[in-house]
Chains A and B, each alone.
Chain A
Amino acid sequence: MTDPAGLPFVTAAPDDVEAAPEQPRRAWVEHVMGMPVSFHVRGPLARDQSDGAGGAVGAAVRRGIADLHRTDEIFSTYRADSQISRLRRGELTADHCDPWVREVIALCGEARERTGGWFDADLPDSAGVRRFDPTGLVKGWAIERVTRELADALADHDVLVNAGGDLAVRCRRTDTPDWRLGIEDPFDRTQLLATVPLRSGGMATSGTAARGAHILDPHTGRRLDRAGSITVIGPDLLWVDVHATAAFAMGAECVDYLAALEGHLSFVVHPDGTTATITGT
């Protein structure tokens, strides 16, 4: 059982703070963007029912859920009428899109640069024509944003959002236990290989265990039918997700890449089943 700790973002509660009594906690689940998204909130008002609607916590979670549905409406490549679909067909230009689209376009460019081209949103479609497809970035971007907004709205509360196996957490409290995250074994998804304590940050895993070969080699456009998985833990889900996707596409080269991600912790399950924990410096 690997239990990495000690990185800046894996901030344990300060020693001089007395542990709070166990806080009320509540979970919500919404199926959106093609996956289950779980929201966990703990803190004094997590189970508040004084207004019959979950109080301030319930309202904040509902705003987050609405935000994800709006994200899906704008960015889904499976919806013919989404702005992304219309952009891909040339019916819209970025200037006429929602500001979110322009933000994502800029982030995709930044992601391509930061990964040396291993993350690329210009992907071949079913006909082999390269089209803008930011799907691989939008999920992390949206979940990170929603998690931050939820935490910003809820003083004295801790939040955890699990979006289909990628996680973002924020703790506003300092007297609560760390969130403890398990990493599943890509060869046997009934098993956990490691656990990670995290108070603030993101954890993303790339691999083919759940969806089969869905990650494309950005250079060749070929589907990567590669065993194993790469989990990256760092301060921001958007970027750990991008790094995990890029590193998975790299294959064996990923070790050097991950080792150079300052302040990040990576857990690699190689195609032969061996594992490595890499602390980026």
Chain B
Amino acid sequence: MRRIAIAVMSTISGLVLLFSYHTSLGPQGPASGPAAGGPGAPPGAAGDGGGATAQDDTGGSAGQDPGGSAAPTPTGTQDQQNTGGSSGTFTGDEVATRWGPVQVRVVIRSGKITQAQAVEYPTGNHRDQQINSWAIPQLEDATVRANSAQIDSVGGATVTSQGYIASLQSALDKAHA
């Protein structure tokens, strides 16, 4: 877990730069935030969190530590902002899961995922910690493995606006937002 936290921090400065770029484009696109849980949403399906964009402020501060743990050591990547948006560090929407909020960040270089981390995950009772220690390393593992195939999108049993994969997908979406 510690190793992961450090890896996350190391990418933050790149992230902040990147989101300053996104924000300049954001209002012009049709992408919606608050539509999750709108009038057509099934009860309990699209309720919470789908539209939350966690770190989209334009500030240059690198002190956005989602876990509230170690101090950030920004050595991040800054090779993004080319036309395709194909390199950089991207953070998915924070997604409410039954265990609590989950947020995934991916590092993409030349269109390939080179790193993926859950930057926010539920902490709390013992059960939560069990889930974390089981799930989060595997999430990295899966995505880095998938990297060999350069994933554009993730398919699976119908996701609502919740869940890990929704979050991973939203990181992939953000990579090209």
- Known contacts A40-B152, A210-B157, then 20 further A-B pairs from the complex at CB < 8 Å, ordered by chain A residue: A22-B84, A25-B85, A30-B30, A31-B32, A31-B37, A31-B50, A34-B46, A38-B153, A38-B170, A164-B158, A180-B151, A181-B153, A182-B149, A182-B151, A190-B164, A191-B138, A191-B142, A195-B149, A204-B155, A211-B160
Q: Which residues of A contact B169 (CB under 8 A)?
A: 36, 38, 162
Interface members, chain B 161-176 (any A CB < 8 Å): 161, 163-166, 169-170, 172-176
Interface of A with B (CB < 8 Å)? 1, 3, 22-36, 38, 40, 42, 47, 49, 52-54, 58, 61-62, 65, 69, 72-73, 76, 78-79, 139, 160, 162, 164-167, 177, 179-186, 188-192, 195, 203-211, 214, 229, 231
Closest to B148 in A: A1
Q: In the complex the two chains form, what is the Cα distance from A160 to B151 in whole Å?
A: 12
How far apart are A34's CB and chain B's nearest CB, in angstroms? 4
Closest to B173 in A: A27
> When the two chains form their complex, are residues A180 and B149 in contact, meaning their CB atoms are under 8 A apart?
yes
A35 touches B160 (CB 8 A): yes
**B interface size (C-beta, 8 A):** 59
A36–B153 CA distance with the chains assembled, in angstroms:
13
* B138 near A190: Cβ-Cβ < 8 Å: yes
CB pair A3–B86 under 8 Å, yes or no, is no
Residues of B within 8 A of A33 (CB): 40
B38 contacts the other chain (Cβ, under 8 Å)?
yes
Instruction: Give which listed residue, B37, B38, B153, contacts A167 with CB less than 8 A.
Output: B153
Q: A211's contact among B29, B36, B157, B177, by CB below 8 Å, is which?
A: B157
Q: A180-B149, A182-B151, A190-B138 are in contact. Are A229 and B157 (CB under 8 A)?
A: yes
Q: List 14 A-B contacts (CB under 8 A).
A: A28-B29, A28-B173, A30-B35, A61-B30, A162-B154, A165-B157, A167-B155, A182-B151, A184-B155, A184-B165, A190-B135, A190-B138, A205-B156, A207-B157
A200 to chain B, nearest CB (A): 14
